[in-house]
Amino acid sequence: MPIFTEPILSACIVLYNSGTQVMRTVQCFQDSDIPLDLYIVDNAPGDAICQRLQWQCPGIQYRAQKKNLGYGGGHNAVIPELRSQYHLICNPDVTFDSTLLSSMVQYMEVNRDCAILTPRVFNTDGTEQFLPKRAPTLRYLMGGKFEKLPGPFQAWRSEYTLRNNHISVPTCVEFATGSFMLIRTGLLRQLEGFDPRFFLYHEDSDISRRALRLGNIVYHPEMTITHDWARASSKEFVSAMHHIASSIKYFNKWGWKW
């Protein structure tokens, strides 16, 4: 395994009253076997956890924002500062093994046609979290919203996530989850980051569509993370409204498809 002496990798976590679970995520980065530049973008400065992060994790690059930029906007804020070859977009509710990041970078180094690398995701109880791997359509979104109801919804959700394909080898897909995606930094700059029109939700769907014009998105089932997924859009009214608004923007941009 090569030893990386320069920060070939950078990573960014965007916070908005995210709670103490981000400490576990930051610890995973600190325990990682590859050096990196870690940025914390705070869309709600003043939260006590941010003071704790700065005190306990002096190596991080903390960036407080004057207003809530949204998820994609928060990640975009650090792009001008990046000096890495690869950049990781990460949620504040993710944990992973200490060797994962170096393995992902090695894969990208060997597979030059890979624009974005996305991992297999597990819930905190050890069950698999089947996330989308196809580009969104109306029926796919309905499948996710109503998958517990009778009718075709569960089948639509399974089709959206490729759940029944039982993927066991690295596979090209159409979607990379914004909770954890490794992207080439030069490509991220070329794409000008996330589309700022997507305040919350579908920023990952959109950047995936644009990235596919320049390279492959690879889902690697042997590279795994644990995601403490809240699925807030199905539980909270404000989040649900953001999801609906972003869905409309996405389909207006890319076309309405059943």
Residue 4 forms part of a structural domain: no
Residue 1 forms part of a structural domain: no
Number of domains in the chain: 1
| Opening angle at CA 171, ends 190 and 24, nearest 5 | 70
Residue 63 forms part of a structural domain: yes
Residue 197 forms part of a structural domain: yes
β-bridge mates for residue 61, sequence order: 39
Residue 115 forms part of a structural domain: yes
Residue 136 forms part of a structural domain: yes
* 8 A C-beta contact, residue 70 and residue 239: no
β-bridge mates for residue 12, sequence order: 39, 89
Residue 126 forms part of a structural domain: yes
β-bridge mates for residue 14, sequence order: 41
Domain harbouring 33, CATH code: 3.90.550.10
Q: What is the pLDDT of residues 155-196, one digit of tens each?
A: 999 999 999 999 999 999 999 999 999 999 999 999 999 999
The predicted model scores a pTM of 0.91
Going residue by residue through the chain, which has 258 residues, state the pLDDT in tens, using 9 for 90 and above: 444 456 899 999 999 887 788 999 999 999 999 999 999 999 987 777 777 887 787 788 989 898 899 999 999 999 999 999 999 999 999 999 999 999 999 999 999 999 999 999 999 999 999 999 999 999 999 888 888 888 899 999 999 999 999 999 999 999 999 999 999 999 999 999 999 999 999 999 999 999 999 999 999 999 999 998 765 444 577 888 888 898 999 899 998 999
* Domain boundaries, position 104: 9-254
Task: Give the span between the Cα atoms of 22 and 37, in whole angstroms.
Answer: 16
Residue 62 forms part of a structural domain: yes
| Opening angle at CA 193, ends 137 and 121, nearest 5 | 55
